[in-house]
Every structure is written in structure tokens, then in C-alpha cells.
Structure 1
Amino acid sequence: MKIKSIKAYHVVQPFVDGPYRMSKGRVADCFDAVIVAITSDSGVTGWGEMAPLGNFYSAAFPAGTRAGVPEIAPHLIGQDPRGLAGIGRLMDTVFKGHSYIKSALDMACWDLAARAADVPLVTMLGGRESDMAETYRVVTHGTLDQMAALAKRIIAEGCRRLQVKVGGNVHDDIERVTTVAAAVPKGTVIFCDANAGWTPYQARQFADATRGIDYTFEQPCTTLDENMSVRRMLDKPMVLDESVTSLGEMLEIHRRGAADGLTLKISRLGGVTQTRLIRDVAVDLGFMITVEDTGGAEIDTAAMAHLSLSTPAERRLHAIAFHEWVTVRTARNAPPVTGSHMGVPDGPGLGIDVDPGLLGEPFFEIG
């Protein structure tokens, strides 16, 4: 089997609930996605998707993806898409760094390989560990009343896990989390995610003032040293997200005892191949794991679901249904969501029936 053609589409995906707000005035109105279709000489097509959250969240930006895919794609023509490790090495050889650009191409090769083998992707990733993964939803920055109302609405809709955005003015954030915690039922799982927005001084202020609230601390500071300085005084679990950029970084986090859990972003790590590798090693090292991405719709959410459900249930934190965030559709089906749980679509590969008519004309095509 050889790669015969590659197409790339640009799809803007506006948010259902309006602008997505983080600390320090960071805001995005949409996911700005690149969707890739890779077709083999046997007529099988695999799909991949990558969408940065603005230019501020990860070391990635939408225009970079659109510029980078045409640079890499010609080198993949004629390669066997099932040789996934070799595909990754080839992309790293011809295009140094910029892992996020390679993510959709890598994902499409995994989808193609699983479709060709007529098995769900979850089977190739280690096997299904459970039928559904519990999901969380995000309480973004806003006024106290807005955040409390959003938290109540999420709970009323059946979700029991909240990620509350903090990382701004620390005194305001103390009020935000205190207000949200008071607005939801006892036992609601709360993560306080600063998105690396604080100094260690601010993070310690926040932790000290909120000792009476049950929550998990997520990525308070930027560097590993800064997060480690907070970790030493913390009496709550800590999860790191932005710090996990490679296998080497994950091993350093483990060596230093800097976290209890990890959030693995597919595009930040360069695709399904590296995400699976880091996930498997991290599970063996005892970390709790969340697998998600920086954004996307049905295709990317399906990849997140397959990786989540092939993670041992006792090591899985939660998942997120990104396709429910956006107003546009890219496929005729989606990962099934029942209440606060998400599964994988039926069928081989990602199980997603992409509708090219919803994607517009490709901005790049080769083959």
C-alpha cells in the first residue's frame, strides 16, 4: 500500500457559546482548523485534523499549519501509510520541529492504516479499556455571576466535572473559584487551570487562600522549576499540561515528582504516534492521564476518544467533546455523547464519516 494523494482543507469553526476566555486577556472566537485527507493506491482514505487555540495557547498558529502541510506532504507520496514510525521519522527529517504541523498528517495515516485493516483505531492503540470516558466542561473567565451561572447550567445538563479557568489576578481568581465551588453540588470534581498564567508567588497565594476547597491544581506556572516550587508546598493533586511537550519532558516531570497527572495534547506532541508512546510510558510510571488536543471538531474529537478509551480506566482522568463546542459540522456522524460520557464511533479507523462537501475546496492537493 502506498500514499497516492493528499488534500488539505481550511475550516473555521466558531464557538457555540461565543468567545473562549483565558487569563491575561487571551481570547479566541473559533478553532481555525486544517483537515487532511490521505488516500492510498487501494482507494482507502484516512482523515486527520489539527486546530490551534488562537496564537497564544500552544507553540502553534493556524497560518503555520496551512503553510507547513504543503512543505511536508510531497515527501509522503509513495510511502506506506501503515509504516507509522517511519512516516514520523521522515517528517522529522524533511521538516525540523513544528510538531503541530505534522499532527494531522500523522493522524490521517493512523486512520488510513486502521481502515485498511478494518479495525477501529482503539484496537490498534492497545484495545478498548471501557465503553465510555467521563467528560468535563470548562467554566471560562467572566464575572462571578456569569461563572456561577455557567457552572450551574453545566451541572444541570448532567456533567459532574468542571475545569475552572484561573491564572489572572490572583485575588479575583480566589473569588471566582470560591463562588463556583459554592454554586455546585458537593462532590463536583473541580480542576483549577491557570494555563501557566501565574508566578509561583501568585500560585502559592491562591493555594493558601483556597485550602478549604476540594480541587486539582492544573499548570499554575510556565516552567518546570516554577511548578516544582509550588508543588513542594501544595496539599492538593497537581496536573501538568503545557509542560508536557515531549517524551523527554514527561520523563523529567516524573524524575522530579512534579505532578500526579498529565494532560497530553495530540498536536503539541506531533500526532497520535507520539501521544500513544508518551501515554503508555506515563501509565507505566503511574501518572493519571487525560488525552485531548488544542481544538477541532468531529475528526480530532474521535482521535481523542480512541486514545482515551485505550487508556486503562484506572489511570484515566477524563475527556472532552470538542465537536460540541463549535457551530459547524465536518462529518455525517460524531463521537457519541451520552450525558457526561463519550464513546467512539462505530466502524473502522476513527469511525468518522467525513463529508467533503462540508469542507469546501482544498487549499492544497498533490498526488
Structure 2
Amino acid sequence: MKIKSIKAYHVVQPFVDGPYRMSKGRVADCFDAVIVAITSDSGVTGWGEMAPLGNFYSAAFSAGARAGVPEIAPHLIGQDPRGFAGIGRLMDTVFKGHPYIKSALDMACWDLAARAADVPLVTMLGGRESDMAETYRVVTHGTLDQMAALAKRIISEGCRRLQVKVGGNVHDDIERVTTVAAAVPKGTVIFCDANAGWTPYQARQFADATRGIDYTFEQPCTTLDENMSVRRMLDKPMVLDESVTSLGEMLEIHRRGAADGLTLKISRLGGVTQTRLIRDVAVDLGFMITVEDTGGAEIDTAAMAHLSLSTPAERRLHAIAFHEWVTVRTARNAPPVTGSHMGVADGPGLGIDVDPDLLGEPFFEIG
């Protein structure tokens, strides 16, 4: 089997609930997605997607992806899409760095290979560990009343896991989390995610003032050294997200005992191949794992769901249904969400039926 053609689409995906707000005044109105279709000489097509959250969240730039895919794609024509490691080495050879640009191409190869084998992607990723993964939802920055009302609404809709955005003015964040925790039932799982927005001094202030609240700390500071300085005094679990950029970084986190859990972002790591590798090693090392991405609709959410459900249930933290965040559709079906749980759609590969008519005209095509 050989790659015969590649198409790339640009799809802007506005948020259902309006602007997404994070620490330090960072705000985004949409996911700005690049979607890739790779077709083999046997006529099977696989799909991939990457979508950064603005230009501030991760080392990914949507215009860079649109420029980079045409640079890499010609080198993939004639290659066997099932040779994931070889495809990865080839992309790294012809285009140094910028893993986010390669992510959708790598994802499309996995989808194509699974569809050609007539098996769900989860089977190729190690096998299904459970039928559904529990999901979480995000309480973004806002006034105390807005955040409490949003948290109550989320709980009323059946979700029991909240990620509360912090990382701004530390005294305001203490009030935010205290207010949200008081607004939801006891036993609600809370993650306080600073998105690397604090100094160690601020993170320690927050941790000391909120000792009476049950939550997990997520990425309080930017560097591993800074997070370690917080970790040493912390009496709560810590998860690192932005710090996990490669297998080497994950191993360094383990060596230093810097975290109890990891959040793996597919596009940050360069695609499904590296995400699966890092996930499997991290599981063996004893980490709790969340697999997600920086954003996207049905395609990217499907990949996240397959990676989540092939993660051992006892090592899985939770998942997120990004396709529910946006106002546009890219497929005729989606990963099924029932209450606070998400599964994978029936069918081979990602299991979803992508509709090219929903994507507009490709901005790039070769083959």
C-alpha cells in the first residue's frame, strides 16, 4: 500500500460558549484547524486534524501548519502509510522541528492503516481497555458569580469532573477556586490548571491558602525546576501538561519525581505515533495519564478517544470532548458522549464519517 494523494483543508471552528479565557488575559474565539486527508493507491482515505488554541497556548501556529504541510506532503507520496516510525523519521529529515505541523499527517496515516485493516484504531493502539472514558469540562476565567454558575450548570448536566482555570492574580484565583468548590457537590473532582501562569512564589501562596480544598494541581509554573520547587512543599497530587514535549522530557519528569500524572497533547508531541510511545512508557513508569490535544472537532476528538480507551483504565485520568465545544461540524457522526462519558464511534479507523463537503475547498492538494 502506498500514499497516492494528500489534501489539506483550513477550517475555523468558533466556540459554542463564546471566548475561551485563560490566565494573563489570554483569550481565543475559535480553534483554527488544519485537516488532512491521505488516500492510498487502494482508494482508502485516512483523516488527521490539528488545531491550536490561539497563538499563546502551545508552540503551535495555525498559519505555520498551513505553510508547513505543503512542504512535507510531497515527500510522503509513494510511502507506505503503515510504516509509522519511518514516516516520522522522514518528516523529521525533510522538515526539522515543528512537531505540530506533522501531527495531522501522522494521524491520517494511522486512520488510513486502521481503515485498510478494517479494525478500529483503538485495536491498533493496544486494544480497548474499557467501553467509555470519563470526561471533564472546563470552568474558564470569569467573575465569581459566572464561574460558580458555570460549574453548577456543568454538574447539573451530569459531569462530575471540573478543570478550573487559575494562573492569574493569585488572590483572585484563591477566591475563584473557593467559590467553585463551595458551589458543587462534595466529591466533585477538581483540577486547578494554571497553564504555567504563576511564579513558584505565587503557586506556593495559592497552595497554602487552599489546603482545605480537595483538588489536583496542574502545571502551576513554566519550567520543570519551577514546578519542582512547588512540588516539594505540595500536599496534593500534581499533573504536568505543558512540560511534556517529548519522550526525553517525560523521562526527566519521572527521574525527578516532578508529577503524579501527565497530560499528553497529540499535536504537541507530533502525532499519534509519539503520543502512543510516550503514553505506553509513562504507564509502565506509574504515571496517571490524560490524552487530549490543543483543540479540534470530530477528527481530533476521535483520535483522543481511541488513545484514551487504549490506556489502562487504572492509569487513565479523564478525557475531553472537544467537538462539543465548536459550532461547526466536520463529520456526519462523532465520538458518542453519554452523560459524563465518551466512547468511540463504530467502524474502522477513527470510526467517524468525515464529510469533505463540510470542509470547503482544500488549500493544498498533491498526488
State the shift of 1:94 in Å.
Answer: 0.2
State the shift of 1:52 in Å.
Answer: 0.4
State the shift of 1:120 in Å.
Answer: 0.3
> CA deviation digits over 1:183-224, x for unaligned, max 9?
000000000000000000000000000000000000000000
State the shift of 1:174 in Å.
Answer: 0.1
The root-mean-square deviation of aligned C-alpha atoms, in Å, is 0.2
Matched, 1:18 2:18: yes
Which consecutive aligned stretches of 4+ in structure 1 deviate over 6 angstroms post-superposition?
Answer: none
Matched, 1:328 2:324: no
> CA deviation digits over 1:66-125, x for unaligned, max 9?
000000000000000011110000000000000000000000000000000000000000
Describe the SS at the equivalent of 2:37.
strand
Describe the SS at the equivalent of 1:239.
strand
Tell me, in whole angstroms, the C-alpha distance in 2 between the residues paired with 1:205 and 1:175: 13
- 1:133 corresponds in structure 2 to 133
Tell me, in whole angstroms, the C-alpha distance in 2 between the residues paired with 1:84 and 1:60: 22
> CA deviation digits over 1:220-277, x for unaligned, max 9?
0000000000000000000000000000000000000000000000000000000000
State the shift of 1:314 in Å.
Answer: 0.1
State the shift of 1:322 in Å.
Answer: 0.1
Q: How many residues align?
A: 367
Tell me, in whole angstroms, the C-alpha distance in 2 between the residues paired with 1:196 and 1:67: 28
State the shift of 1:49 in Å.
Answer: 0.2
Tell me, in whole angstroms, the C-alpha distance in 2 between the residues paired with 1:110 and 1:84: 8
Describe the SS at the equivalent of 2:7.
strand
State the shift of 1:320 in Å.
Answer: 0.1
Tell me, in whole angstroms, the C-alpha distance in 2 between the residues paired with 1:171 and 1:92: 44
> CA deviation digits over 1:155-181, x for unaligned, max 9?
000000000000000000000000000
Note the residue ranges of structure 1 that are not aligned, 5 or more in a row: none
Tell me, in whole angstroms, the C-alpha distance in 1 between the residues paired with 2:100 and 2:83: 20
Tell me, in whole angstroms, the C-alpha distance in 2 between the residues paired with 1:61 and 1:146: 30
Describe the SS at the equivalent of 1:35.
strand
Matched, 1:159 2:159: yes
Describe the SS at the equivalent of 2:250.
helix
Tell me, in whole angstroms, the C-alpha distance in 1 between the residues paired with 2:352 and 2:65: 22
Matched, 1:173 2:173: yes
Describe the SS at the equivalent of 1:178.
helix
State the shift of 1:342 in Å.
Answer: 0.1
- 1:220 corresponds in structure 2 to 220
Tell me, in whole angstroms, the C-alpha distance in 1 between the residues paired with 2:240 and 2:92: 26
Tell me, in whole angstroms, the C-alpha distance in 2 between the residues paired with 1:75 and 1:54: 29
Tell me, in whole angstroms, the C-alpha distance in 2 between the residues paired with 1:61 and 1:162: 28
TM-score, reference length from structure 1: 1.00
State the shift of 1:302 in Å.
Answer: 0.1
Tell me, in whole angstroms, the C-alpha distance in 1 between the residues paired with 2:112 and 2:193: 35
Matched, 1:118 2:98: no
State the shift of 1:27 in Å.
Answer: 0.2
Describe the SS at the equivalent of 1:264.
strand
Note the residue ranges of structure 2 that are not aligned, 5 or more in a row: none
